[in-house]
A and B are shown apart, each in its own frame.
Chain A
Amino acid sequence: MPARVVNVTAAPMTFMERLYLPAILKGMALTFSHFFRNLVDIRRLPTIQFPEMRRVYSERYRGRHILKTREDGSLKCVACYMCETACPADCIHIEAGEHPVLAYEKYPVKFEIDFLRCVMCGFCVDACPKDAIWMTKDYEMSYFDRESAIYGIEKLRETREDTAAGGPGYGYRPYYGESPMRKAGEFEPSGLALLPVLKKRAEAINRMPPPKAAPPAAKTA
């Protein structure tokens, strides 16, 4: 039996508690205190005006995958099938080929991720022995048909936009040795940033990519 039990059985209501009006006034007082606090200091407003304002996610956010490249631009992937094996959703499909560069031996002729199946668990990143697959902080993926949700090498290969200012940035990736992820302070307070001040939010907005096909009316508002 538990060592300490606290009894929370309800006590009968007192006379004051029986009255409706004081309760309503008390409730209104609390609501209005919130209202005025928000009115006076708009920075403390907990609501985020998405999509103009966005949460800053941490350095391990698990978003869209990218395939890392070597310095010569070839994929780091050696088609060892470990991510395909580790994937609990069976969403990775690899076909291996012989690489013309002898030292690279193998490379993926085909590397597909079906993002409609993917559960963004990051197991592929954990499984990769070659540091070849990382994730980004990109969580906005939408498609008009199922086929376009299957990303091949050309769409998965890391591009400059992924890390450019305003791009999603790297997310979940293996870390070892003195990687930036282990350094103190590298974990930008993400969603936490308790009631983030406007300045921070402005930074977040600045970091966002400009809308691709800008709807003319929405921007002026």
Chain B
Amino acid sequence: MSAVAAPASTVSFAPLLAKRFPGTVVAETRPPADVPTIAVTRAALREVALFLRDDPSTKYDLFVDLAAIDTSRLPAPQAPADGHRFQAHVLLYSTSRNAHLRVRVSVPEADAVLPTLTGVWPAANWFEREAWDLMGIRFEGHPNLQRLLTHNGFVGHPLRKDYEAAQRWLCTEEDLLQTQLAAKTDTPEDVFETMTLNFGPSHNSTHGTLRVVFRLDGERIVAAESECGYLHRCFEKMSENHTWVQVVPYTDRLNYCSPMINGFGYARAVEQLCGVTAPPRAQAVRVVLAEFSRIMDHMVCIGTNLVDLGALTNFWYGFQTREEIYGLLEACCGARLTSSYARIGGLANDVPTDFVARSRALFPQITRNIGEIDRLVTKNRIARDRMYGTGVFKRDDAVAWGFTGPCGRASGIAYDVRKDAPYDGYDQLDFDVPVSSDGDNYARYLVRMEEMRQSLRIIDQVLKSFPAGPISTDDYRVALPPKEMVYNEMEGLIYHFKVVFEGAQVPAGEIYSFVEGANGELGYTLVSDGSGLPYRIKVRPPCFPLFSAFEKIAVGGMVSDAVATLGMLNIIAGELDR
């Protein structure tokens, strides 16, 4: 169950850091189920970050997440000893050592400023903007510290605990993005040479509400600025006044192309915090449905992207697969997209009795659809010309910008959570991780195609030895007891009442738990104060760093290449904006 299983992660850096930068390391903790943590002083953050990135013994080269936490309402034992109001958790990953690390910094309220890490990891850029926007921590030296998820006319920082969720602001139209880009590019000599093109937020090929403003020299993009937040729906703020279980329907709306994975990832994170484990059958179902969701997600990604490139046929083949998989998901959870199937400690219901047969019945269809897309596209000169060598992002760039998942693997980062920090029994399964070194759209396409085949392999193995047994844990502090117990036994009814009214009893603590989402590492930072409601939930959406790098990838290419790139990065506005 341990999140970080690799022996490398057990090495302690505190003495090393203390020797190198005396007085910087405040504390070091390495709880068994969580990511190891070092707490450093604010003044030394940048130096420590550089050291952690570059030193061969640490080599934390990938910036995973930045979670800002307002500790002002935390009860006494959990509240930080130094009395500072904010905490920033910088989560890092080392691609060479396969280890996660959390760097914790305390930030006082009166002077809520941190040194920026954009110079160390470019991926930090948007994460810092988000932290500024939602928590009000300023980042000194940040190149563009604007609001990211909320509107520019927004007042206050919504994730602070003293911010009333029901407040409303009058936000008027203002085209800040365009002016920003103009200020960057409007030099006297090129003002007549280049033109500005607005792309999105409602454009057929953004596949969601994203916005990019291009500065064009003919067809070539000379500068780009992207913006998100159009689909921001306060997921993290709203979670704070719902019980732990009530967050599950919210997670379905994160990556709506593969909603099941989000729910399972969330449930697993809470389970780790509670110290409960889902029974083997629930884990097996999670693996099967997560892999089917992954296939679905890749099918949608490839299908819709090819539509943008002018190949409509694949869309039908891809969506046929998706349609049949939706049928299976609906038979398990009762809804096609808004599944809310995951529960803390297991699943909502047992799967249908013919689950195995029905899952197997999907195989020929999916294999055929994959084969058809393969035959139509992979060797097709036109498709290949559109994708090969466009949107190139090589490994060094991809690591610096925090790429994970299929896009990271297409750039040569052989990191897959299912292999490198196995969960739900993935370590028992035999599958390959497709990796390419090209880093272009064609590589992203090939990686996704291969991942679908590997997913089928995984499902096949799980179905071969599909475990029997309960579907949910019998720890009734967190899970609802079965209905026969509720109806017939007093004890069951009491548990039932307590779980419904008080919510799952999640002990105080914090955790960073991550699974392999369809787009990459999907992480949840959870902080519990033991009250029955989540204290703070921070999602690490895999396509957030992907989209933040988009303006860099797009520059130098054509507008039509940018469309192909945007599709192949598979930006899902639901999880991007939360």
Contact = CB atoms under 8 A, between A and B. Distances in A.
Contact of B249 (A57, A88, A129): A88
Interface residues of A, number: 60
B433 A6 contact: yes
Contacts of A172: 334
A73 interface: no
Majority secondary structure, B binding face? helix
Contacts of B416: 2
Contacts of B450: 6, 8
A110 interface: no
27 contacts: A4-B433, A5-B433, A7-B434, A8-B443, A8-B450, A9-B436, A9-B443, A18-B381, A27-B313, A46-B323, A60-B331, A61-B330, A120-B335, A121-B340, A123-B246, A126-B348, A127-B480, A127-B500, A129-B486, A175-B483, A184-B353, A184-B354, A186-B353, A189-B327, A191-B328, A191-B331, A192-B328
B334 A58 contact: yes
Interface string A123-140: 100110101000100000
Contact of A86 (B246, B352, B380, B434): B246
B372 A176 contact: no
A23 to B, nearest CB: 5
Given A4-B433, A30-B375, A191 B326 contact: yes
A135 B500 CA distance: 19
A191 B336 contact: yes
Contact of A8 (B246, B320, B435): B435
A11 B378 CA distance: 11
A108 interface: no
Majority secondary structure, A binding face? loop
B334 A187 contact: no
A140 B352 CA distance: 25
List 8 A-B pairs, minimum CB-CB distance, nearest first: A191-B327, A88-B246, A176-B483, A192-B327, A60-B334, A2-B419, A187-B352, A6-B432
B171 interface: no
Contact of A2 (B246, B316, B414): B414
B333 interface: yes
Contacts of A121: 248-249, 338, 340
A17 B340 CA distance: 46
A190 B432 contact: no
Interface residues of B, number: 73
B113 interface: no
Interface string A29-52: 011000000000000001000000
B214 interface: no
Nearest to A137: B334
Contacts of B419: 2-3
For B334, B335, B431, B442, the residue with the greatest tally of chain A CB atoms inside 10 Å of its CB is: B334
Contacts, number: 183
Given A10-B388, A17-B379, A122-B334, A185 B483 contact: no
A46 B320 contact: yes
B501 A82 contact: yes
A191 B330 contact: yes
B500 A185 contact: no
A174 interface: yes
B496 A129 contact: yes
Nearest to B433: A2
A55 interface: yes
Interface string B448-471: 011000000000000000000000
A170 to B, nearest CB: 11
A119 B381 contact: no
B375 A26 contact: yes
A216 interface: no
Interface stretch (B41-49, B154-162, B357-365, B554-562): B357-365
A200 B430 CA distance: 38
Contacts of A183: 353
A176 B350 CA distance: 11
Nearest to B410: A8
B478 interface: no
A1 B353 contact: no
B245 interface: yes
A218 interface: no
B163 interface: no
A192 B331 contact: yes
